[in-house]
Amino acid sequence: MWRNRHSGFLILFVILIFLNVAYGRKAPNIVFILADDLGWHDVGFHGSEIKTPNIDKLAYEGVILNNYYVQPICTPTRGAIMSGKYPIHTGLQHYVIAGSQPYGLPLSVTTLPQHLQALGYNTHMVGKWHLGLFKKDYLPENRGFESHFGYYMGLSDYFDHYSEDRYFGYDLHYNGETAWNYSEVYSTELYTRHAENIIRSHNQSKPLFLYLAHQAVHAGNAGDPIQAPQEYIDRFPYIKNVPRRMFAGVVSALDDSVGAVYKALQDAKMADNTIIIFSTDNGGPTDHYDQNAACNWPLKGNKNTLWQGGVRGVGLVHSPLISNPGRVVNGMVHVVDWLPTLLQAAKGEGLKPQSQRDENDSDLDLDGIDMWAEISGKSGIDKKDAWPRNEVLLNIDPVDKFGGIIVGDYKLVYGNVPTSGWYPPPDKSADDVDGETQKVNLNSPAENILFFRPEVQEPEVKSVYGKPISIECGLMPLNATENCQPQKRPCLFDLSSDPCEYHNLASEFPDVVIKLQDRLAKYALTMVPPGNKPEDPRGNPQLNGGVWKPWM
């Protein structure tokens, strides 16, 4: 009896080994680096005057997502990454979570790290959470992360780690406990150091998921919004505008962090089986928004708007698992796609988009679409008409009464969308910018970076390596601002010919307006109410030892 049972176990073990060898390699490590408030024109591979050689390296040796959409502000994007669902389906569609508001990403949501844990991953988070802190159940270490080192709020001082959001308190934590011993350590360097330690100490018998949600390049507290050590600021003497030069220092520290994390993966011999995602959470704060100095040029608009500058984001994927790197992907990708895409890459079961759901798929009803075959180059699909995603819901906010959607080439916005314009880098005209950003020099070593540029041998990589991604807007008409007033009537744009939203076509194509309004109406039928709650005075840090932490 024992011998038969033992033989059965042995046979099963041999079969499992055979299947593992025959049908797949070891599950890949996943490192998701999320920048905060990084604008379209704030990276070198988009032609910025700010040098970002490490980010550029990953972009040009990986896949550049050139038609990548995020939510217009941070809490909704972070919720979308964690859930794979549009904010209208998690109650996060209206603004952000204030520190003393008693709500968060619903506990009914199974998060990305929880899914990955079920697939055998070690899961760690470093940096900004901003998905609820009022109860311990909502903290990262109780939402699928084995560890969390970072802060809970939307913003913080980069050096002393105090956050001001109506109330004032300390906001740096390690696994739910206040981390007091890091005063005057610059947060970008602090989070980088912790991420490096996680990589170095990782037991490689299991795959790693590391979510590095940087504070950079978000503004700090109102009294001192743009913060970087002087050594980073001094890298940009040619940027004359002082806030923009300081902002460039913040970006440069972020870029160094990307390089340091990649080097840590190389040193640990993990880089050859790692997927790195680099993404912004929303468009950049321009025009003095938050007293910051980001730039979305030449796109229209600002953070916290549905214009392209608010929702078309910086995004890339780097991995040796990509079969034909050096590509620019022009197919539409949305931030909700990361959950099913990464689960597929991790050898998880393919999950259903919401359009294919049924009553037995309650928690796997996703708005995200698995894009792994397209991103990795395994599908062979590059043509727009064969691309898996044809539409993006930008948002429906029933409180502030605005919304927007993209279907195919057409974009519709309506309601109280904040008025916004087109903002070149400070002190630069449009002509100046066009003259300065035609080339990204990858042949000479940049100062104080971890990577020197290697010669690229593959012809398909050479085709894009070192060439900034450009957006051709054409001539701006004199009435570009006045011809679209979404508070009065919806505005319609053809993004294929008008990526900068100069020409409102609503009066010319009323049938297209009706079609997109119908799509919005169908989404509205599936919407859950916003989860926002009034601020609770019991959340005041002064009632909790001077610390932002759970109070219920």
- The answer to whether residue 191 is domain-embedded is yes
- The answer to whether residue 479 is domain-embedded is yes
Strand blocks (E) in 75-213: 122-128, 147-151, 162-165, 167-170, 173-174, 177-178, 208-213
Give the span between the Cα atoms of 308 and 287, in whole angstroms: 15
Give the per-residue pLDDT at 408.
98
* Cβ-proximal residues to 3 (8 Å cutoff; 6+ apart), any chain: none
Structure tokens, 275: 């997927």
Strand 402-407 versus strand 410-415 pairing type = antiparallel
Sign of the alpha-carbon torsion through 225, 229, 232, 235: positive
Q: Which among 93, 41, 197, 19 has a CA at the least distance from the CA of 532?
A: 93
Helices (H), 61-135: 74-83, 112-118
- The answer to whether residue 160 is domain-embedded is yes
Q: Which residue type sits at 452?
A: F
Sign of the alpha-carbon torsion through 367, 373, 379, 385: positive
Give the per-residue pLDDT at 4.
53
Give the per-residue pLDDT at 249.
99
Give the per-residue pLDDT at 417.
93
CATH number for position 161:
3.40.720.10
Asked about 218 being catalytic, the answer comes back as no
- The answer to whether residue 143 is domain-embedded is yes
Q: Which residue type sits at 375?
A: I
Residue 300's DSSP bridge partners are: 422
Give the per-residue pLDDT at 464.
54
Give the per-residue pLDDT at 378.
83
* Cβ-proximal residues to 519 (8 Å cutoff; 6+ apart), any chain: 391, 405, 407
* Cβ-proximal residues to 245 (8 Å cutoff; 6+ apart), any chain: 233, 236, 237, 239
Give the span between the Cα atoms of 366 and 356, in whole angstroms: 9
Give the span between the Cα atoms of 382 and 98, in whole angstroms: 41
Tell me the whole-structure pTM to 2 decimals: 0.90
Residue ranges in the chain modelled with pLDDT below 50? 1-3, 5-6, 9-23, 349-355, 357-363, 434-463
Residue 168's DSSP bridge partners are: 164
Q: How many domains does the chain have?
A: 1
- The answer to whether residue 552 is domain-embedded is no
Give the span between the Cα atoms of 208 and 121, in whole angstroms: 6
- Domain enclosing residue 364, as ranges: 34-438+445-531
Q: Is the peptide bond before 21 cis (omega within 30 degrees of 0)?
A: no
Give the span between the Cα atoms of 4 and 10, in whole angstroms: 10
CB of 389 closer than 8 Å to CB of 337: yes
Catalytic entry in 74, 295, 484, 491: 74
Catalytic entry in 130, 194, 202, 318: 130
Q: Which residue type sits at 118?
A: A
Give the span between the Cα atoms of 259 and 33, in whole angstroms: 11
Give the span between the Cα atoms of 227 and 224, in whole angstroms: 7
- The answer to whether residue 247 is domain-embedded is yes
Give the per-residue pLDDT at 487.
97
Give the per-residue pLDDT at 431.
58
Classify residue 146 as exposed, middle or buried by CB count within 10 Å of its CB (0-12, 13-18, 19+): middle
- The answer to whether residue 199 is domain-embedded is yes
Give the per-residue pLDDT at 418.
85
Q: Which among 182, 173, 108 has a CA at the least distance from the CA of 141?
A: 173
Q: pLDDT tens digits for 284-338?
A: 999 999 999 999 999 999 999 999 999 999 999 999 999 999 999 999 999 999 9
- The answer to whether residue 26 is domain-embedded is no
Give the per-residue pLDDT at 347.
81
- Cα atoms in the 13 Å half-sphere on the side-chain side of 340: 23
Give the span between the Cα atoms of 195 and 420, in whole angstroms: 37
Q: Which among 219, 240, 237 has a CA at the least distance from the CA of 228?
A: 219
Q: Reduce the DSSP state of residue 272 to 3 states and report it.
A: helix
Asked about 130 being catalytic, the answer comes back as yes
